[in-house]
Structure formats: structure tokens, C-alpha cells
Structure 1
Amino acid sequence: MSVRVYVPVTSSGLAAVVADGRLAGPFRAHAVTPALAEAWPEGEDEEWEYAAQAAAGVASLAARGEGDRPRRLVLAVDVPDAQPAGTDDEPTLVEVAADVPWKRIASAHVDVADLPDAVVAAYLDQDADADLPDEVDGVEIDHDLAWFATQEIRAYADGL
């Protein structure tokens, strides 16, 4: 049995995964955990998955280095094992010890355009219990990430 985890990556990190054909372990990711289910008992599987994916998206923005694009970039990956590593503030956080081959990557969830600085700041500054506003500094925010199948990830990464 495998566990679906959502791995936050940067644009340079995505390029490395594509070039290497694998995701190098160990790494941190986000997943549906017992801590998440306990913190949100009225939630359902689909809502918990969305919460884990959203947490990974914000983590990808926070991990950006110089030269990385201001986009949320998340890989959905099936791993044999993931150990909870979160706190009350991060109930979705898990640790994955091993490398993950390309064939275990299920999809990518990404912003298709760069986010303005004010929007990036809004994502990074938001209270975990609060919804992101629909507009920040006059910029409409599309909360959902675009979905790319595995065979489309390389072409998307090449466009970064």
C-alpha cells in the first residue's frame, strides 16, 4: 500500500526532478495524517487531500530561492511510507526517507503564471484558519492550482 503525499518544489527543484528522473530523498511533504483528521474531525477525505495540497503549495512559495519563479509548484507522489513530522500548526507535514522514481509521481499541481509579490505575501502571511481574500492589491486570485498529468510535467518545466 502506498501513501499519497504532496511535495512542495520550486522551479529549480522541479527542473532537477525532471533532469534526474527522480525525487531525491529524504524530503518533507504534506499528506493526510491522523493529526489532520483529529484537528478537523468534520472534514472528509477529499477536503483533507485539498488541505494537504494547499499546505504544500504555500510551502513551495516559502522555499523559493533566488531565481525561482513565484509560483506554487506541487508534485503528487505515491510513496511506500511517510512518517508524520508535523506540529499542531502543521498537521499535514510528513517526512519521506527514500528516493522516489519518476514512475511514482502521479501529477503536478501548479500556478500557470507567476504570482505578483503582493499575492505571494498574502499566501505566506495568511492565518491557517482564514481564507485567502479573492483580491489582493487589485489582483484577482485564483486559489486552485492547475493539474498536469505526468507526461505533461516535462513540457511545463521546460517552459519555466
Structure 2
Amino acid sequence: MSVRIYLPTTTDVLAQEVVAGEFVVAEGVEPVVAESDDEGDEYAALLTAADASTAMAVERGVAGLRRVVLVFETDAVPVAGAKLPVRQLVSAHVDVEDRDTDSDPDDDLAWFIPSELPHLL
């Protein structure tokens, strides 16, 4: 049985990982798992991961504060240091415009298929 996880990250890390062809669960990053496959639960998991992405961007001093959430289908919830191959990536959700720290946290993110990621960078 597979698990769908929502992995928060930042634009600078995304750029590095797309080039590397795999995604690493960073130390201190908690993948978010939806409580069920209900659309509302999945959306809540996406927004929780988006909030974590903003916090990561602020902590790292990433310009633009664009939220980035990567959605993976995995066999289990990965731990810090786990490598997730691009073949397990289902989609990416990314802000298409820079944000301020006081931007509405409920703003929608744009949805991208994995093959579109190189064009975002």
C-alpha cells in the first residue's frame, strides 16, 4: 500500500534537487500525510506543507518566499535523509509569484507535473 506525502521545500533546494534527479528529506522537515484520500484532507495536508515551506524560506533567507510542496507516492513516510527518486513524484505545487510574509496563507498554489519542473527554475 502506498502513502501520499506532501513534502515542503524551498525554491533554492528544488533547483538543486531537480538537477540531482532525487529529492532528499531535509533534517527537521516533516512530510505531511493526509488523514484520508478525501479531497478536503488532501487540501489541508497541502496547505500545512505550504505553511512549512514558508517557514523554511524565512529561516533560510530565500528571496521571494515562494511556497513549494512536492507530492510523492511512497511505501512509507520517509525520515530525514531519505532520498525520494523523481519517479515517485506525483506533482509539485508552487507559487508563481513572489509573496510577502503577510500574504494570505490560503492562497492557492499552481499545480505542475514532474516534467514541468525544469521549466520553473
TM-score class normalised by the smaller sequence: 0.7 to 0.9
Matched, 1:7 2:7: yes
* Other-structure match for 1:153: 117
* Other-structure match for 1:113: 97
Rg comparison, structure with higher value: 1
Aligned with 1:31 (options 17, 22, 33): 33
- Distance in 1 separating the partners of 2:101 and 2:83: 33
Counterpart amino acid of 1:48?
Answer: D
- Distance in 2 separating the partners of 1:113 and 1:150: 19
Q: Which moved more, 1:13-22 or 1:24-33?
A: 24-33
- Distance in 1 separating the partners of 2:43 and 2:74: 18
Counterpart amino acid of 2:5?
Answer: V
* Other-structure match for 2:56: 63
CA RMSD of aligned residues (A): 1.8
Indicate how the Cα distance of structure 1 residues 54 and 67 shifts in structure 2: closer, same or farther if over 3 A, else same.
closer
Between the two proteins, the alignment pairs up a number of residues equal to 115
The question of whether the paired residues in 2 share the 8 Å contact of 1:107 and 1:148 is answered with yes
The question of whether the paired residues in 2 share the 8 Å contact of 1:12 and 1:68 is answered with no
* Other-structure match for 2:74: 79
Identical aligned residues as a percent: 35
- Give TM-score, length-normalised by structure 1: 0.65
- Distance in 2 separating the partners of 1:16 and 1:28: 19
Deviation of 1:2 (Å): 1.2
Unmatched tracts of structure 2, length 5 or more: none
- Distance in 2 separating the partners of 1:24 and 1:147: 21
